């Protein structure tokens, strides 16, 4: 069942304080459920927007103008919902500096027959590669079978070209470690393989935002409540996190307690999938 506007308004009202550090003051794209059940993205200039939704524009290398919304308040998110937004996708930079990324992102997308537990193992290998470069990373579970690895750049002066070169090199290292299991080429046959999607770190590309509701890629996977992109911890990944830690309904309940709970914002309750195998511990990988 697709969440209606009233349910989405209630959802964002409950969790906006959790989502704001990831979502606010970033250029956004939005999507709704298309005719085939998959996300359909808005293209072109935005429609008339509520006053709480801001616009930022820039010119591409080919001289075409781009206009994207951004928000800095709950009213802004409500405004996007009211014009039809279901999924919210974020750019890799803030509105204050479009010329430099403030995060890197990898999207791990399993092909048919590639088990979730193996996705978790590959994510842990990626985390280890990033630690070799003294880069801290944060995992997110998409709720639709993907796992995102985010690298906050935390004030480091990266260029888009450097980001592109770096993520491509790291992705290739992961492929070289097991070319039968991994690929960075989305056009290759991915049955039984994991795509390491590095494009999310390229200039102008987006990734579905933390805490955004997410549309399953297969309409047969539709549930009574939409899954939510959930920031988790590497310890939870090691323990065998569920591929769907939270839904819109469960996150409303979680957020009501989490907002008043001190501590790191990424430490949200996220259940381990019953019967899931435990991936290898990071301690053993560092040897």
> What's the 3-state SS for 213-246?
ECCCCCHHHCCCCCEECEECCHHHHHHCECCCCC
Banded pLDDT at 2 (limits 50, 70, 90): low
Is residue 249 within 8 Å of 12, Cβ to Cβ?
no
Banded pLDDT at 190 (limits 50, 70, 90): confident
Q: How far is residue 206's CA from residue 92's CA, in Å, rounded to a whole number?
A: 7
Show me where the domains of the chain are located. Answer: 5-98+208-216+244-258
120: three-class secondary structure by DSSP: helix
Banded pLDDT at 276 (limits 50, 70, 90): very low
Q: Domain 5-98+208-216+244-258 maps to which CATH number in 3.90.920.10, 3.40.190.10, 1.20.1250.20, 3.40.50.300?
A: 3.90.920.10
The pLDDT tens digits of the residues spanning 13-26 come to: 999 999 999 999 99
Q: Among 60-74, 149-163, 170-184, 211-225, whose mean pLDDT is lowest? A: 211-225
By percentage, how much of the chain surpasses pLDDT 70?
Answer: 84
How many angstroms from the chain centroid is the CA of residue 29?
13
The secondary structure of residue 203, as a DSSP letter, is: T
pTM for this entry: 0.86
Q: How far is residue 60's CA from residue 203's CA, in Å, rounded to a whole number?
A: 10
The pLDDT tens digits of the residues spanning 72-82 come to: 999 999 999 99
Pairing status of strand 194-197 against strand 182-183: parallel
């Amino acid at each position: 069942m697709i969440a209606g506007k009233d349910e989405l308004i209630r959802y964002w009202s409950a969790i906006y304080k959790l989502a704001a550090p990831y979502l606010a003051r970033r250029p956004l794209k939005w999507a709704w459920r298309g005719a085939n059940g998959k996300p359909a993205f808005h293209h072109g200039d935005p429609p008339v927007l509520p006053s709480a939704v801001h616009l930022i524009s820039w010119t591409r290398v080919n001289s075409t103008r781009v206009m994207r919304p951004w928000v800095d308040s709950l009213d802004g998110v409500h405004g996007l919902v009211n014009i039809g937004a279901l999924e919210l996708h974020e750019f890799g930079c803030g509105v204050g500096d479009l010329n430099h990324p403030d995060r890197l992102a990898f999207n791990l997308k399993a092909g048919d027959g590639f088990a979730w537990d193996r996705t978790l193992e590959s994510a842990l290998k990626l985390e280890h590669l990033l630690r070799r470069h003294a880069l801290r990373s944060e995992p997110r579970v998409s709720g639709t079978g993907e796992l995102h690895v985010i690298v906050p750049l935390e004030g480091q002066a990266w260029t888009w070209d450097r980001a592109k070169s770096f993520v491509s090199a790291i992705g290739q290292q992961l492929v070289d470690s097991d070319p039968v299991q991994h690929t960075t080429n989305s056009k290759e046959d991915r049955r039984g393989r994991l795509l390491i999607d590095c494009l999310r770190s390229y200039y102008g590309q987006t990734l579905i935002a933390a805490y955004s509701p997410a549309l399953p890629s297969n309409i047969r996977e539709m549930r009574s409540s939409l899954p939510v992109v959930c920031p988790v911890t590497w310890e939870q990944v090691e323990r065998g996190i569920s591929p769907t830690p939270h839904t819109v309904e469960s996150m409303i309940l979680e957020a009501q307690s989490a907002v008043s709970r001190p501590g790191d914002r990424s430490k949200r309750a996220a259940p381990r999938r019953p019967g899931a195998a435990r991936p290898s511990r990071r301690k053993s990988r560092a040897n």
